[in-house]
Structure 1
Amino acid sequence: MAFRFVRSLAPAALFVFAQACAPLPNAARPVTALAPEAPPASEDMGVVTAADPRAAAAGAEMLRLGGSATDAAIAVMLALNVVEPQSSGIGGGGFLVTASAAGDVQSFDGREMAPAAATPDWFIVDGKVLSHSDAVPGGRSVGVPGNLRLAAMAHERSGKLPWRVLFGPAIRLAADGFAISPRLASTLAFASDIAGLDPAARALYFGADGAPLPVGTMVRNPALAATFEKIAANGADSFYLGDNAKAIAAKVGTAPRNPAPMSTADLAGYTAKSRDPVCGRYRVWRVCSMGPPSAGGITVLQTLGELERFDLKAMGPASPTAWHLIAEAERLAFADRDAWLADPDFAPVPTAGLIDPAYIAARSALISETATITDTAPGKPAGASDKFAVAGPIPEHGTTHFAAVDRWGNAASYTSTVESAFGSGLMVGGYYLNNELTDFNLDPNRNGKPTMNRIEAGKRPRSSMSPVVVYGPDGHLRLIAGAAGGYTIPPQVIRVIIGTLDWNLSARDAIAQGIVMPAPGALAVEAGTPLAAMVPALQALGHTRVVAVPMRLKANAIEWVPGENGKGHWVGAADPRSEGATASP
């Protein structure tokens, strides 16, 4: 498969699993609970974008019923759990950034949490650090899931529809069935050892001959429908307490591979957190994203800030110099990411120092239009500690991004994940459990010092997820964006922002264009795009190893397109590399 390239190029940083999407929505049966009467249609009722058209339709249904962007995003997350099980769901976690039409930005941390039994040597067995591939399957990699606590917190703040209504589309998809898409089928084939690790999962997605079910096969998941019905009726507590919590703890503790202790107290004690978003200026625009434990938002802000002194608009998207500059800025930001970012509840993350304009300007001064940086060591922002060692990038794979804007002009930008494709391979109640703990540094020490992102009890692992919102100089929301693909997420988001704001591309065209981004020991150029012809020019700029490689990227965005007489409209965009779609009420 095309995406296997990363194992030979950069085994620990760029491996992007195929993430499945699907065809058009199934015929729907009535929502299991009554929804409030929808208000009359307005000129612009909003829009939803997601990695699967059925999930996008679920969000659009909430908007049609008078729901908020947050309502729509939650409905999308639940529907994706059914039709894109390899990428996200209630067995995983995520980050949500909400933005009001008035300019208020909030961010919600639903990142998975290490159980109370976790210690820094969690992934050291018989005196040796487990490899990533050995650490993923089974119980040791499972963190306490956060998506439902996140959803409940966000819904309490800005939901308009009753909680139970948000589950209607997902319940229908799980109970009535959905067709396996080409992307899901390819991921089942590629990751069959994980996808079929659990007998319940094998019964869902594999035939009697042991082979993954082919494209177009109808799959019904009554166990997941029942799980959703219970949570819809009883709230998020029914996931974290009682029978479901007991089932998760038992599954993790008795896993056929890497069994590990997780208690019902771990589940009961999980809380989502309202975090301060990270915001900065890029030229005339205000860009906001998720702060730590996500590293993505800071990486995006640093990269944009380091590029601001260059006239990217004049260079244009066909300029090798422009892409060289973008990659150089990303290299610097990635160096800081690996050195200084982790869960701020456990480590002294120098967030303010990392996004300080003066610090960013000093880092930008290292970048040249005519040569490459010889040493991309991390900087020393204000507040940084010498106590911790620098650790390298960590593979992240199974993720999805979706976004919604409602009729009031409020937005939700939500990135959700189970980490690797099909997470840990363990299944409870029809959903996969994540393997998010492998986003910690498996080796807790480096060069005699502890790493900031080592595992500890109750800690949340660092992430690349980068849900963003962008306001224009008039204070109007201009762009909502995000991506999937681990290490590639910040470069994908940066490409969308620069494409729309600097190069005046539509969000659709900005996503569809190719990408140039740093990889460990190389510069990666997306094969099969016009950018592949830039390899000689990039080499002439000092990049000694430039490799054109196929990439299965996946980004989604919504942009505001101004019209005449002060009017405008929202336009959704989905990555043509995926089976993503947009939908309106």
Structure 2
Amino acid sequence: MKKKSAYFNVFPLLILVFMLTLSAACEQKDQDAETVDYDLPEQPEIATGYTSNPGWKTSEFAVAAAHPLAADAGYQILKNGGSAVDAAIAIQLVLTLVEPQSSGIGGGAFLLHWDGLEVTAFNGRETAPDGANQEMFLDENGDPLPFTDAVHSGLSVGVPGTLAMLRDAHRRHGKLEWKDLFVPAITLAEEGFRITPRLYQQVSADERLADDEIARNYFFDEEGEPHPVGHTLKNPALARILNRISEEGISAFYQGAVADNLVERVRRHDRPGTIRIGDITRYPDRETETEPLCNPWREYRVCGFPPPSSGHLAVMQILGIMENLNPPPEPLRADTIPSAEWLHQFLEASKLAFADRGRYVGDPDFVHAPGDDWQSMLQPDYLSERASLIGSESMGQAEPGEPGELAEMFGEHPVQPDAGTSHISVIDPDGNAVSMTTTIEQAFGSRVMADGGTGLRGGYMLNNELTDFSFEPKDDEGRLIANRVQPGKQPRSSMSPTLVFDSGSGDLVATLGSPGGAAIIHYTAKTLAGMLGFGLDAQQAINMPNFANFNGPSVLEEGRFPEEVIRDLEDQGHEISERSLTSGIQAVQRIEQGWFGGADGRREGVVMGE
């Protein structure tokens, strides 16, 4: 077992530790096919709830991911000479196995890459099939379906884009062979991984996962109980699927038995979807590379993802609007909790950003940006104008602004929940960086599991990404909604993978992002403000309590704010509720000695590196 310098500092008390070794048969099977030297790591049981992680210093490279086995896969790929993109691919494949509730090959992802010269963006967002239409989430009376009924159906499944996007990113920025990147995930799927408390809790709490026969046979025992924490779970179906993709390329997923099985699983559901084989086979022909959005903020250049993601636009609107306000004398209390004065400005700026998000943002292949340029929403004069609407009292609900002339007038997007997702941040030994946010939307997506037609136990979860569209095509005034369902369209996202650079030197400063549905925007903005505004390190910024406003009542992380702060916000007219805001922020920032990584203690993330 190789020594991994940053791995064992995370959890000093390891419970249910076991060591798995490859069998002679497995070694023989892989001997001719593999060049990556992959050691099965020890698999600790991980604490649930909130853990205040210490952060990790590295000198050469760093990998931050939402599960120790996924981080370890990226670590070992880099040790084998892989690039940041290589590591991200290996991490994603392992996450498909060990964090099936959050992301996987049945979903979509956005990836930002820095090669020392330029930032490139790769869009692997799911798409609506050709059979989709703007009334597909309405019942026979024309009313929206109950949200959970729509999610737990074939209707919600979009055409997965993760593998096609990763192929394109690998072609541009990969160093190792494609098949080598599958070694960790295939090995773990065959040999098994320990169920962590988080996965156990997610399975136990889900009321619909067992409705799916394949998922029931995989996640539950013969008595219908979830497999317990520490149970070794093997996934032979996923191992078979990944083996084929590693040898044949992504055609093994988008064509043939795996594609046929995906279509069958969707179309034979009690509430079937409209995906056909042609929708699947066409996805790899899409152009996944796109132009990132990069904007100045203070002494930095912040790069993020353009629409169909609303993330970067909203993050930069929040931060940009706040730059036009008089900062409070003490924005941060001594206990690293934001003051009520600073929170008031953040929450009000969030309302303004979410009002614009709900009116304007959608798939750019279907929706014209205000003034035909998404940057119109981030122009200094416009942000100054929006900031002038913030006073000393809560504005209640904000109205959209007018950042530029519109080709068509859009309606107000109704409020709908979104959740799930995972984030990966990587810095490789050459200084190349990846920020990748990846999702199947809700926990376990549509609750439909596909086994690739293998007939073996297990498989991968299919997304419910189409419920990110507006269920209603028009608002109460009869105006079409920008993010309505249309064939071939990508639903609006909140994912906010972010790369930050020093405006003067051009040096990379940080890579970061988070899961968390629409609150991804707030989590990312919070972390940027913490690191680059308050002078906190990445871990301290992540550890700050979470807060959000979606253009309505404000939400504070339960049990993390003093009564004094809550009372002061309420005195300013804010309607406050407290609930769990489970971010999963992964961030790596440059320090004088190399890199400093932070992983969110609200999930199971760790940072590894040397």
Q: TM-score, normalised by structure 1?
A: 0.90
Q: Paired residue for 2:384?
A: 361
Q: Paired residue for 1:108?
A: 122
Q: Paired residue for 1:444?
A: 473
Say which is worse superposed, 242-251 or 89-98, in terms of deviation: 242-251
Partners of 1:301 and 1:59 lie apart in 2 by 30
Q: Paired residue for 1:50?
A: 65
Q: Paired residue for 2:232?
A: 218
Q: Is the 8 A contact 1:539 1:546 kept in 2?
A: yes
Q: Superposed, which structure 2 residues align to 1:66-77 within 5 Å?
A: 66-77=81-92
Query: Does residue 459 in structure 1 map to residue 512 in structure 2?
Result: no
Secondary structure (helix, strand or coil) at the match of 2:513 reads: strand
Partners of 1:419 and 1:312 lie apart in 2 by 36
Q: 1:530: Cα distance to partner?
A: 3.8
Q: Paired residue for 1:373?
A: 395
The one of 430, 441, 456 aligned to 1:408 = 430
The one of 336, 341, 345 aligned to 2:356 = 336
Q: 1:251: Cα distance to partner?
A: 1.2
Q: Paired residue for 2:272?
A: 259
The one of 582, 597, 607 aligned to 1:552 = 582
Partners of 1:389 and 1:25 lie apart in 2 by 56
Q: Is the 8 A contact 1:485 1:553 kept in 2?
A: yes
Structure 2: tracts of 5 or more residues without a match: 1-14, 39-57, 334-338, 452-458
Q: Paired residue for 1:345?
A: 365
Assess, with a 3 A threshold, how the Cα gap between structure 1 residues 438 and 374 changes in structure 2: closer, same or farther. Answer: closer
Secondary structure (helix, strand or coil) at the match of 1:126 reads: coil
Q: Paired residue for 1:11?
A: none
Q: 1:364: Cα distance to partner?
A: 1.7
Question: What is the root-mean-square deviation of aligned Cα atoms in Å?
Answer: 2.0
Assess, with a 3 A threshold, how the Cα gap between structure 1 residues 24 and 44 changes in structure 2: closer, same or farther. Answer: farther
Q: Is the 8 A contact 1:207 1:213 kept in 2?
A: yes
Partners of 1:177 and 1:143 lie apart in 2 by 29
Q: Is the 8 A contact 1:140 1:259 kept in 2?
A: yes
Partners of 1:50 and 1:24 lie apart in 2 by 20
Assess, with a 3 A threshold, how the Cα gap between structure 1 residues 61 and 261 changes in structure 2: closer, same or farther. Answer: same
Structure 1: tracts of 5 or more residues without a match: 1-21, 563-567
Q: Paired residue for 1:584?
A: 609
Q: Paired residue for 1:324?
A: 344
Q: Is the 8 A contact 1:45 1:64 kept in 2?
A: no
Which residue identity is paired with 1:395?
P
Q: Is the 8 A contact 1:179 1:218 kept in 2?
A: yes
Say which is worse superposed, 53-62 or 205-214, in terms of deviation: 205-214
Query: Does residue 468 in structure 1 map to residue 488 in structure 2?
Result: no
Q: Paired residue for 2:519?
A: 488
Partners of 2:400 and 2:252 lie apart in 1 by 44
Deviation per CA, 1:249-289, whole angstroms, max 9, x where unpaired? 1111111x211221111001112521211111111010010
Partners of 1:162 and 1:65 lie apart in 2 by 11
Q: 1:551: Cα distance to partner?
A: 2.4
Secondary structure (helix, strand or coil) at the match of 1:98 reads: strand
Deviation per CA, 1:148-183, whole angstroms, max 9, x where unpaired? 001001001101111011111111111110111111
Deviation per CA, 1:155-214, whole angstroms, max 9, x where unpaired? 011011110111111111111101111111111111141x22321111111011112111
Secondary structure (helix, strand or coil) at the match of 1:484 reads: coil
Partners of 2:155 and 2:37 lie apart in 1 by 46
Partners of 2:561 and 2:410 lie apart in 1 by 42
Deviation per CA, 1:102-153, whole angstroms, max 9, x where unpaired? 3x11111100001111111111232332121110112111000000001001
Partners of 1:117 and 1:131 lie apart in 2 by 21
Q: 1:470: Cα distance to partner?
A: 0.5
Q: Is the 8 A contact 2:354 2:551 kept in 1?
A: no
Partners of 1:438 and 1:355 lie apart in 2 by 28
Q: Is the 8 A contact 1:403 1:480 kept in 2?
A: yes
Say which is worse superposed, 379-388 or 69-78, in terms of deviation: 379-388
Deviation per CA, 1:21-59, whole angstroms, max 9, x where unpaired? x99896464667333799xxxx93311101101000011
Q: 1:83: Cα distance to partner?
A: 0.3
Partners of 2:18 and 2:67 lie apart in 1 by 9
Which residue identity is paired with 1:188?
V
Q: Is the 8 A contact 1:88 1:399 kept in 2?
A: yes
Count, aligned residues: 550
Q: 1:552: Cα distance to partner?
A: 2.1
Q: Is the 8 A contact 2:420 2:516 kept in 1?
A: yes
Assess, with a 3 A threshold, how the Cα gap between structure 1 residues 28 and 313 changes in structure 2: closer, same or farther. Answer: farther
Partners of 1:204 and 1:327 lie apart in 2 by 42
Partners of 2:138 and 2:293 lie apart in 1 by 34
Q: 1:388: Cα distance to partner?
A: 1.8
Secondary structure (helix, strand or coil) at the match of 2:155 reads: coil
Q: Is the 8 A contact 1:400 1:416 kept in 2?
A: yes
Deviation per CA, 1:60-79, whole angstroms, max 9, x where unpaired? 11111111111111111110
Q: Is the 8 A contact 1:136 1:424 kept in 2?
A: yes
Q: Superposed, which structure 2 residues align to 1:231-250 within 5 Å?
A: 231-250=245-264
Secondary structure (helix, strand or coil) at the match of 1:260 reads: coil
The one of 153, 164, 178 aligned to 1:138 = 153
Assess, with a 3 A threshold, how the Cα gap between structure 1 residues 100 and 25 changes in structure 2: closer, same or farther. Answer: farther
Assess, with a 3 A threshold, how the Cα gap between structure 1 residues 441 and 28 changes in structure 2: closer, same or farther. Answer: farther
Q: Is the 8 A contact 1:23 1:53 kept in 2?
A: no
Query: Does residue 119 in structure 1 map to residue 133 in structure 2?
Result: yes
